[in-house]
Structures are given as C-alpha cells and as structure tokens.
Chains A and B, each alone.
Chain A
Amino acid sequence: MVLSILRPFFLGLYHVFKRTFTVKHPYETLKPPERHRGRLMLNMDRCIGCSSCVKICPNKALNLVEFNGRKLPQYNAGRCCFCVLCVDICPVLALSMTHEVEYSVYKKEDHIYPPDRFSQPPEPVKGKIVTVKTLDKKFGVKHG
C-alpha cells in the first residue's frame, strides 16, 4: 500500500526532468504533412467553370461568380468543412489544398474569398519548422 502511494510520487518527480512536449507555436511550427488540408486554393488558369465543385460541396462553401468575364468559384472559408470532395471531383485539378491554417478574421465577410484572392498562395510560415525527432520513453519526446 505504501508502495502504491510512493510510486506515483517518484514517477511524477521523474517526469519533472523529462523533455516538455510543447511546441511554442508562433516561434516553432509543426511541419504540416504533405496531405495536410488547410485553406483551399484555386488555379485560375486551369479552371473551366464547370461548377462540379459547387455541386458536390455539402456546405455550400463554394459558389460561382462572374469574374473578368469568366465564371469562377468563390470560396467562403467560414462554411468550409475541409472534406476535400471538391478537390477530388475537379476534372482539371484546378483546386488544391494549401497548408495554411491561420486565416482567422474579425469580420464574417472577410471569410469570403473572391476568385482573385482565392487563387493566391498563402504566406510562408514564420518561425522554425519542427517535427517529432526522437521518441524516447526515458527522456521524453524531442521536437526539432
């Protein structure tokens, strides 16, 4: 009984000296995997305005608008659920997922991406990019 009380005590004390798990986000960023689904991006040169993405979207996050005399999709990031059905269905591979996840805005209207903004690539991530380097039970997980 004494052991079962003392064991957690020493185990806890031992963990004080382990590596911390935290990634200090604005300064360090976990490297997004290749498939990581962030904000959608449109390739304006490829898009043929077929509207299959608009039809497949379960949340009506995409809709067609007139832009420079062409019909192009407009993106509402506030409605998007990142199911990527639109990327799968696109016959000309005009849509793609970026790794951008920090696109919070103050106003609801700012979530709407007209085709020109929709086709801009995201800004590169600031800060150090880290991954899980070593998994070691003795000293904890090392990011680096």
Chain B
Amino acid sequence: MLGLSFVELIELFIKVLIFPGTLFSLLFSIIVIWFERKFLARMHLRIGPLHVGPFNRLGLFQPIADFLKLVQKEIITPSKANNFLYRLMPMLAAFLSALSIAFIPYALDPSGGYWVIFYTPLSLLVILVILTAKPFIMVGAGWAANNKYCTIGALRAAFQLLAYEIPIVLSLVGIVIVARSFDLAKIVEAQSSVWLIILQPIGFIVILIGMMAELLRRPFDIPLAEQEVVFGWPTEYTGVQFALVMVSEYFDLCVTASLITILFLGGWSGPAIPLLHDISPMLSGIFWFLLKMAVITVIIIMGRGVFPRLRIDQLLESGWTILIPFAIIQILITLATAQWWLPLIGG
C-alpha cells in the first residue's frame, strides 16, 4: 500500500491521527478557545467559563460542551440561498485550514528526516497557496447565503485578505533569501545559531500584523464586525456548519502560530529538556515548539482585549502604505547587510 513499509505506515497513521494531525489540531483549538475565553474574561475582570469539567472555577470542558450543543442544533438554510455552495463552503473552509497542517514540520525525526505528515521542499509555497484560497471560500459563502450582511462581510473579507497577503509574501522573501530554501525545515535549520526575529525584527512585526489580519482577529476583524455587519459572511450559518467555520478559524490560528514559530523563533531548536530528552530527543523539540507557539498565540489573542476595531479603509490604507514599504525595507536591509549576518547562520 502506497509503497510504504509497515513501520512507515504506522508512523504515518500516528502523524495523521495524533500529532500533528487531527487530534493535536482539535486539542489545540479546544484549548485555545477555552484559554481565549478565560484569558479575556480575566482581562475584563470577569470569571469566564466556570462549571463544566473538572476543577472548580476552571470550566475546562466548556468548548466541548459548546461543540456538542452546536452539533445537536438544526441546520437552517435560508430559503433563497444557493444550496450547494452554502453547504459546501464551511466544509471546504475546515478542510483547507486543516490541510496546511500537513506541510508543517514540528520536530526532528529521531530516525532521520522531519516529523511532518507530507514532506516537500516547497512547503512554504504550498502553505501560501492554501492561504490564498481562503478569500474565495468567504466570498462564496457570503454570496451563497443571499443575505446583505453576508455579502458586505464577504466583500470586506476579500479586500482585507488580498491586501494583507502581499506584505506577508514580501516579508517572507527576506526569510527565503536567508535560508535559501522554500523548505520550512531548512528555514529552521538556518536558525540554529541565531533566530531570525533578531535578524529581521521588521519582518516579524509585519508578518505578525499581517497574519492577525489574515486570521480576522480583533483590531482587524472588520469582516466579522458585529456592530456593523452582524457576523459578516458566516451570519446565516447555524449548528454544525457554524462549528465548522469556528473550527477552521482556530485551525488557521494553529497554522499561523506554527508558521511564525518556524519562520522567526527557530522552530524546535532549544536546549534539551532533561526528562523529555531521555525518552526521545524529538519530545524536547516538540516541547520548545509548543512553548513558542503558545507565546505567539497569546499575543494574537490579546489584540481582542486591548484594541477597538479599525475601519476597512484605514486597514487597507495601513496595509498598502505602511506594511508593504516596511516589508520592502526589510528585504533591502537583508540584502545590504548580508556580509555581516551570513557568517552568523553559517552560510
């Protein structure tokens, strides 16, 4: 089967089903949803989820309870909606978001190679292509629902996502110049002595802001603005379809946090953790990866607590006139200072 040996097949199953596949990404979404609610609640001086699950005052299982509730609900399709597209889009959204995880290496495999579901030397490009597909889903869903708020939200989403892909791609150029590869694993290895966040701080900020806009997080959640367009393109979705939309959002967060960790924070590199390292050196790498991911996730989530939402024209303006020039400046700086940093990364 697939020309794989039995051991390889088992390994593939573990990768797809447990880490970094289904179970990990679902667990990540659940933990992040819970953490976001609890963290923002504390920032608001509230308690947040309280009763569901073990440990008093923690409400650990609240996302699971919410998911179960959503699954039980009736699926309502608006009478004038385009049925096929309307039903397809949430599934496609969740599928595409989950697909990116397959190309992200999470650790060094002890038996050689990397801990990644599907290894390709062009993994960075593949993930970018998948990111680019997102606006089409939003426009499709917003158009199919045949609701004015959905349409406005979808158009806003298209504007925003297309505008912010350019600075992201531009600042990735700097990274590719440094690593001389589109391979995420090679990018991590290029950072073995010094992280790219130190060499390219402007690129890091541009990518962080751009990714927050891609994820539709708070200062940039204009397509979902509750006060203006109710809930944007997913307004009409109910029940399990809504759950899929939400899950796709958090899968995207997982992908983004992993991507920033790999690109700027040195991925799985870090000092060996004694206990974990004894079991397997891979576990130590995974620990560092998850820790860096968590930091990025907290920063992305915090935007929701401390910033009001921007307006769409301000967002587009800052995208075109601030982020893109900064990304280009970063490339130029990278090229101009090559002679100093090249020895640092062993090139």
Contact = CB atoms under 8 A, between A and B. Distances in A.
Contacts of A135: none
A15 B305 CA distance: 10
Given A11-B306, A12-B306, A13-B302, A21 B46 contact: yes
A18 interface: yes
B43 A20 contact: no
Interface string A1-44: 00000001101110111111110100000000000000000000
B307 A16 contact: no
Nearest to A22: B47
B1 interface: no
A109 to B, nearest CB: 33
Contacts of A20: 41-42, 45-47
Given A21-B45, A24-B47, A140-B45, A16 B39 contact: yes
B305 A12 contact: yes
B39 A8 contact: no
Contacts of A22: 45-47
Nearest to A17: B42
B47 A15 contact: no
Contacts of B302: 9, 12-13
Given A9-B306, A11-B306, A16 B43 contact: yes
Interface residues of B, number: 13
Interface in B20-45: 39, 41-45
Given A8-B306, A8-B307, A11-B306, A16 B46 contact: no
Contacts of B42: 15-18, 20
A17 B45 CA distance: 9
B208 interface: no
Contacts of B41: 20
Interface string B294-311: 000000001001110000
Contacts of A17: 42
Contacts of A12: 43, 302, 305-306
Contacts of B312: none
A21 B48 CA distance: 11
Contacts of B91: none
A22 B302 CA distance: 21
Contacts of A9: 302, 306
A9 B304 CA distance: 10
B217 to A, nearest CB: 14
B50 interface: yes
Contacts of B39: 16
B307 A15 contact: no
B301 to A, nearest CB: 11
A17 B39 CA distance: 10
Contacts of B45: 15, 18-22, 140
B307 to A, nearest CB: 7
B274 to A, nearest CB: 30
A122 B41 CA distance: 35
Interface string B30-71: 000000000101111111001000000000000000000000
A16 B45 CA distance: 7
Nearest to B45: A21
Contacts of B44: 15
A22 B49 CA distance: 12
Nearest to A12: B306
Nearest to A8: B306
Contacts of A18: 42, 45
Complex A-B, nearest 8 residue pairs according to Cβ-Cβ distance, in ascending order: A12-B306, A8-B306, A21-B45, A16-B42, A12-B305, A22-B47, A12-B43, A20-B47
Interface of B: 39, 41-47, 50, 302, 305-307
22 contacts: A8-B307, A11-B306, A12-B306, A13-B43, A13-B302, A15-B42, A15-B43, A15-B44, A15-B45, A16-B39, A16-B42, A16-B43, A17-B42, A18-B42, A18-B45, A19-B45, A20-B45, A20-B46, A20-B47, A21-B45, A21-B46, A22-B46
